[in-house]
């Protein structure tokens, strides 16, 4: 057994023997690290394993507690489900990204300061107006009857999306648009359409963790391409991978990339599409932050430079209007027929009511006015958050310079492990995005991602100050931690 599995088994045994009872707090990460002479990273993995097994639970600002066992109800046949043991949950040395992200989101729902959230501040959305449209449409649906919109989706919403693209400088054929259940479904459908299992898919490094999960889930191979935090993906390295590794497709985020936040220049976007066209390699473009630019000029997309239908553009309203409605779309180019078929086979349709509510909002309300307010707020928060990190974090900390979106990428000084900072922050009711989840290896284990979409309040400032103090503590004890590793 690996060290973290052995530790998890020991703690589970103590709980089973009643040494630590249900509802009681277990020793903290730091105490456990000291008592067992193990690195903090090892202890964190053990705690995450126990949490995924339902043995313990994290409580913001309190620590970890033994989870109370629910009452087991027998089935009609009198059988009960077999409990999941350590062997069932055993995993490799690589961090289980899905488990880690789910744990982070749960902590946010329980009240943690949401600096690690992948979602924007819910207060920035026009909930009231969208709900008014939805309620009105629901009443009419009850009177007239409303059928689900089969692929490609609601015609009025498709028209509004095509109109929006036209206003932003990208004339599109409305017949190419396919409505999806958020951008995640659009990305998954496009990936299925362009490559079979076993194919090699190129991604930026670091990249959005959901892309890595999608590639793994579809039993494809990933090749990570070095990516500059200012200029974007290394096009020469990408072309070498295409030639040497037989890359079947690429997945990139050229505008306000998650997690680094950069925006590729128009020249590099054009050069990328031209290079991929020469090799006849499709590229799936994740452009969900497209509308959240801070400058005066609307950014272009890879789709602007596509002449062969090789760019599969994916977008959604989840980052600008409503994450709850889960409405996205794809412009799949030459792969449109495959994507539409896969949409029908996978989920049949996208709920009609959210589509109609968003279409009504786009048609009748001030979407541009709403976006201007959001952009202004995010741009101000970006400057404040970056300045606070420079002020409170140890010397040698580097921060990105976002020109859109709502995410700040932070490079910590040597010796500070993101997972260790994550664990100590969780104990104090603060969530952060550990850099480990944005790549398959350990290249970014010294980085964190922070969300600055929320208003800059005394609570948020105190959380950033606390993160800086914790990072300073880790920097001071880095040699001892390395010895434990």
365: confidence class by pLDDT, cuts 50, 70, 90: confident
Domains of the chain as residue ranges with CATH: 3-70+84-89 (1.10.10.10), 128-364 (3.40.640.10), 369-484 (3.90.1150.10)
Of the pLDDT bands very low, low, confident and very high (cuts 50, 70, 90), residue 331 is: very high
The pLDDT of residue 86 is above 60: no
Can you list the alpha helix ranges (DSSP code H) found in 195-335?
Answer: 209-217, 235-245, 266-279
Q: What's the average model confidence in pLDDT over 87-106?
A: 60
The residue-averaged pLDDT of 451-478 equals: 94
Residue 256's pLDDT is what? 97
Reported as a single tens digit per residue, the pLDDT across 410-433 is 999 988 999 999 999 988 999 999
Largest CA distance in the chain: 71
479 pLDDT higher than 60: no
Cβ neighbours of residue 293 under 8 Å, at least 6 residues apart? 255, 256, 263, 299, 375, 403, 404
The encoded tokens of residue 178 equal 């396919």
Contact status, residue 181 vs residue 384, Cβ threshold 8 Å: no
Q: b/e for 136-157, b at 16 or more Cβ within 10 A?
A: ebeeeeeeeeeeebebbbbebb
Which comes out higher in pLDDT, residue 296 or 314? 314
With 60 as the cut, is the pLDDT of residue 46 above it?
A: yes
Q: How many CA atoms lie within 13 A of 44 on its CB side?
A: 23
Beta bridge partners of 247: 200
User: If pLDDT is split at 50, 70 and 90, which confidence band does 318 have?
Assistant: very high
Residue with token string 């979409």 = 453
pLDDT band, very low/low/confident/very high, at 80 (cuts 50, 70, 90): very low
| For residues 395-416, average pLDDT | 96
Task: Find out whether the peptide bond into 178 is cis, omega within 30 degrees of 0.
Answer: no
The model carries a pTM of: 0.81
If pLDDT is split at 50, 70 and 90, which confidence band does 325 have? confident
Radius of gyration from C-alpha coordinates of the chain? 24
Question: 460 pLDDT exceeds 50?
Answer: yes
The band of 77, judged by pLDDT with boundaries at 50, 70 and 90, is very low
140-159 average pLDDT score: 79
Among the residue ranges 88-97, 123-132, 282-291, the one predicted with the least confidence is: 88-97
Mean pLDDT across the chain: 89
Q: How many other CB atoms sit within 10 Å of the CB of residue 85?
A: 11
pLDDT band at 481; cut points 50, 70, 90: very low
| Residue 147, pLDDT score | 60
CB 53 within 8 A of CB 11: no
Which residues does 415 contact at the CB level (< 8 Å), separation at least 6?
474, 475, 478, 479, 481, 482
Average pLDDT over residues 218-247: 97
For residue 169, the tally of other CB atoms under 10 A from its CB is 12
What is the DSSP annotation of 120-143? PPGGGS-HHHHHHHHHHHHHHHHH
CA 452 to chain centre: 15
Among 339, 319, 338, 341, residue whose Cα is nearest residue 330: 339
Q: Given this model, what pLDDT does residue 142 score?
A: 61
Residues 6+ apart with CB under 8 A from 174: 158, 159, 161, 162
- Residues whose CB falls within 8 Å of the CB of residue 50, separated by 6 or more in sequence, listed in order: 8, 11, 12, 56
- Rounded distance between C-alpha atoms, residue 436 and residue 48, angstroms: 14
Report the pLDDT averaged over residues 370-387.
97
């Amino acid at each position: 057994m690996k060290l973290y599995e052995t530790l998890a088994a020991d703690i589970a045994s103590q709980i089973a023997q009643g040494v630590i009872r249900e509802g009681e707090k277990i020793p903290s990460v730091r105490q456990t690290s000291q008592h067992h002479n193990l690195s903090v990273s090892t202890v964190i993995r053990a705690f995450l394993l126990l949490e995924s097994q339902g043995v313990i639970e994290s409580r913001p600002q309190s620590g970890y507690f033994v989870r109370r066992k629910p009452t087991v109800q027998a089935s009609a046949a009198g059988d009960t489900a077999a409990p999941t043991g350590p062997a069932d949950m055993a995993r490799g040395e690589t961090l289980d990204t899905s488990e880690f992200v789910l744990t982070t989101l749960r902590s946010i729902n329980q009240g943690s300061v949401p600096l690690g959230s992948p979602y924007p501040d819910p207060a920035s959305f026009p909930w009231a107006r969208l709900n008014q449209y939805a309620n009105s449409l629901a009443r009419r649906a009850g009177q007239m009857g409303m059928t689900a919109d089969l692929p490609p989706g609601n015609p009025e919403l498709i028209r509004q999306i095509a109109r929006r693209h036209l206003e932003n400088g990208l004339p599109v054929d409305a017949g190419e648009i396919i409505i999806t259940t958020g951008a995640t479904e659009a990305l998954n459908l496009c990936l299925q359409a362009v490559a079979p299992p076993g194919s090699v898919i190129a991604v930026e490094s670091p990249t959005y963790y959901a892309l890595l999960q999608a590639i793994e889930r579809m039993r494809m191979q990933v090749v990570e391409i070095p990516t500059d935090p200012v200029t974007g993906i290394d096009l020469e390295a990408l072309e070498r991978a295409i030639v040497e590794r037989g890359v079947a497709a690429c997945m990139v985020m050229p505008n306000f990339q998650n997690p680094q936040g950069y925006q590729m220049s128009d020249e590099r976007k054009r050069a990328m599409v031209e290079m991929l066209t020469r090799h006849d390699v499709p590229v799936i473009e994740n452009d969900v932050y497209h509308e959240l630019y801070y400058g005066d000029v609307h950014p272009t997309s890879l789709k602007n430079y596509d002449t062969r239908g090789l760019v599969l553009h994916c977008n959604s309203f989840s980052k600008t209007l409503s994450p709850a409605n889960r409405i996205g779309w794809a412009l799949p180019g030459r792969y449109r027929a495959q994507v539409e078929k896969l949409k029908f086979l996978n989920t049949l349709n996208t709920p009609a009511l959210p589509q109609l509510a968003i279409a009504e909002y786009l048609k009748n309300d001030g979407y541009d006015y709403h976006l201007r307010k959001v952009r202004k707020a995010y741009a101000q928060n970006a400057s404040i958050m970056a300045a606070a990190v420079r002020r409170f974090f140890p010397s040698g900390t580097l921060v990105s310079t976002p020109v859109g979106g709502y995410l700040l990428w932070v490079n910590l000084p040597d010796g500070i492990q993101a997972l260790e900072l994550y664990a100590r922050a969780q104990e104090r009711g603060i969530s952060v995005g550990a850099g480990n989840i944005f790549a398959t290896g350990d290249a970014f284990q010294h980085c964190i991602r922070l969300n600055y979409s929320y208003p800059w309040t005394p609570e948020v400032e105190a959380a950033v100050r606390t993160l800086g103090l914790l990072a300073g503590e880790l920097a001071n004890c880095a040699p001892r931690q390395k010895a434990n590793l």
